[in-house]
């Protein structure tokens, strides 16, 4: 049998986009495929962790062995994450919408001759920051993602401090890269001790290497 270094550990993974309703038939979304987050859930499970995957709508098959919590909005994602606590490990790979429509309509907006409706946006909860800054149930290891266009490492390093997470997986999503929706990813792992630049790899390989790094972290003599 394959070694299970994360046996006995509980992990929470967020994946995919969120859908933020405008009215009963329309929503705001983004191009996240969920591939990286789903691959991470699968990789943590393979190393023996008990995994809850909180996911926005994707076209992907459920990764085997994981408890799947499907959600649509950022607020639902936060509630599902809180319900999954306590966990030892949280990996936030979801592309959460930063904003939702304030005062979503409970009726379909109509073309009534009065011109296009104005949409007022309001801020969504930041799930990564909420988990990182939880006073009562903070996971021992919180990992965030940072999709940046330019100054990737610099911005991601600042994001790690601002959000209060332990590690950041930073990737370049500049035009010309195919990270969003594609099968490959070029990432930098940013930790307290320094930065690792990983070669371009398939998202499954990135997931496997990240899961290995997590297992190593928990199996260090000093780790909790």
By beta-carbon proximity to ligand C5P, the closer residue of 46 and 132 is 132
CA distances from 179 to 74, 116, 117, 146, 203 (A): 22, 34, 33, 12, 9
- Asked if 34 touches ligand C5P (CB under 6 A), the answer is no
DSSP 52: E
Candidates 41, 43, 89, 96; binder of ligand C5P (CB under 6 A) is 96
- Asked if 128 touches ligand C5P (CB under 6 A), the answer is yes
Residues 6+ away with beta carbon under 8 Å from 172: 148, 149, 150, 152, 179, 186
Q: Would you state the structure tokens that stand for residue 7, as one six-digit string?
A: 């046996």
Candidates 69, 144, 172, 203; binder of ligand C5P (CB under 6 A) is 144
The reply to whether 7 sits in an annotated binding site is no
The reply to whether 161 sits in an annotated binding site is no
Q: Which stretch binds ligand C5P (CB under 6 A): 55-63, 106-114, 142-150, 213-221?
A: 142-150
By beta-carbon proximity to ligand C5P, the closer residue of 47 and 128 is 128
Cα–Cα distance, 5 to 126 (Å, whole number)? 30
36 Rama class: left (phi>0) / alpha (psi -120 to 50) / beta:
alpha
Annotated binding site for CTP: 98, 108, 125-128, 145, 159, 163
Which residue ranges are tagged as binding site?
A: 98, 108, 125-128, 145, 159, 163
């Amino acid at each position: 049998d394959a070694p299970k270094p994360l046996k006995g550990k509980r992990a929470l993974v967020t994946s995919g986009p969120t859908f933020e309703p405008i009215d009963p038939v329309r929503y705001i979304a983004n191009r996240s495929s969920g591939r990286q987050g789903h691959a991470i859930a699968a990789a943590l499970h393979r190393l023996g962790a008990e995994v809850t995957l909180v996911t926005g709508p994707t076209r992907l098959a459920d990764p085997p062995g994981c408890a799947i919590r499907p959600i649509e909005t950022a607020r639902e994602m936060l509630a599902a994450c809180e319900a999954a606590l306590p966990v030892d490990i949280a990996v936030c790979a979801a592309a959460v919408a930063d904003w939702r429509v304030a005062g979503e309509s409970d009726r379909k907006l109509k073309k009534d001759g009065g011109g296009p409706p104005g949409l007022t946006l309001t801020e969504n909860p930041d799930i990564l920051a909420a988990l990182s800054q939880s006073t009562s149930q903070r996971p021992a290891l919180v990992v965030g993602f940072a999709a940046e266009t330019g100054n990737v490492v610099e911005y991601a390093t600042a994001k790690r401090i601002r959000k209060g997470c332990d590690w950041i997986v930073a990737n370049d999503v500049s035009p010309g890269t195919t990270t969003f929706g594609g099968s490959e990813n070029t990432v930098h792992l940013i930790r307290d001790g320094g930065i690792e630049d990983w070669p371009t790899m398939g998202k499954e390989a990135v997931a496997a290497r990240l899961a290995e790094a997590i297992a190593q972290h928990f199996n260090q003599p000093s780790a909790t």
